[in-house]
Amino acid sequence: MERLNKFLAHAGVGSRRHCDTLIAAGRVKVNGVTVTQLATQVDPEKHKVSVDGAAVKAERPVYWVVNKPVGYLCTNHDPSQRPLALDLIPHVDQRVYTVGRLDESSEGLLLMTNDGDLAHKLMHPKFQIEKTYVVLVAGKPSIADIQKLLDGVWLSDGKVRAKNVRRLKPQGESTWLRVVLCEGKNREIRRMLAKLGHKVLKLKRIAIGPVLLDKLPKGKSRKLSLPELEKLRKMVSGTGKGKAGTKQTEHG
Largest alpha-carbon pair distance within the chain?
66
Could you give the dihedral angle defined by the CA atoms of residues 67, 68, 74 and 78, in that order, rounded to the nearest 10 degrees?
A: -140
Pick the CATH number of 2-56 from 2.60.40.1080, 3.10.20.520, 3.10.290.10, 3.40.50.200: 3.10.290.10
- Please, which pLDDT band fits residue 245 given cuts at 50, 70 and 90? very low
* Tens digit of each residue's pLDDT (9 = 90 or more) over 91-148: 998 888 888 789 999 999 999 998 888 888 898 888 889 999 999 999 999 999 999 9
Q: Which of 87, 103, 151, 157 is catalytic?
A: 103
244 pLDDT higher than 90: no
CB atoms within 10 A of CB 209: 25
Mean model confidence pLDDT for the chain: 90
d(CA 246, CA 252) in angstroms, rounded, equals 14
pLDDT at 178: 98
pLDDT at 93: 83
Distance in Å from the first CA to the final CA of the chain: 53
Amino acid at 132: T
77 pLDDT higher than 90: no
Pick the more confident residue, 163 or 252: 163
* Tens digit of each residue's pLDDT (9 = 90 or more) over 8-29: 987 878 888 899 999 999 999 9
pTM of the predicted model, to two decimals? 0.78
- Please, which pLDDT band fits residue 179 given cuts at 50, 70 and 90? very high
Integer CA distances (angstroms), 155 to 158, 165, 190, 191, 212, in order: 5, 18, 11, 8, 29
Q: Is 68 helix (H, G, I), strand (E, B) or coil?
A: strand
240 pLDDT higher than 70: no
251 pLDDT higher than 80: no
* Tens digit of each residue's pLDDT (9 = 90 or more) over 43-75: 988 999 999 999 998 778 899 999 999 999 998
- Please, which pLDDT band fits residue 243 given cuts at 50, 70 and 90? low
d(CA 176, CA 135) in angstroms, rounded, equals 5
- Please, which pLDDT band fits residue 189 given cuts at 50, 70 and 90? very high
Integer CA distances (angstroms), 214 to 76, 92, 145, 208, in order: 26, 22, 29, 12
Degrees (nearest 5) of the Cα angle 138, 140, 145?
105
CA-based nearest residue to 52, from 77, 19, 75: 19
In the chain, where are the structural domains located? 2-56, 63-125+212-237, 130-208
Degrees (nearest 5) of the Cα angle 15, 17, 20?
110
% of residues, the chain, pLDDT over 70: 94
Per-residue pLDDT, averaged over 222-231, amounts to: 96
Question: What's the CATH code, domain 63-125+212-237?
Answer: 3.30.70.580
Residue 100 is given by DSSP the state: S
249 pLDDT higher than 60: no
Cβ atoms of 248 and 163 within 8 Å: the answer is: no
pLDDT at 51: 96
Residue 245 is given by DSSP the state: S
User: Is 103 an active-site residue?
Assistant: yes
Pick the more confident residue, 250 or 85: 85
Considering only the top CATH level, what class is 130-208?
alpha beta
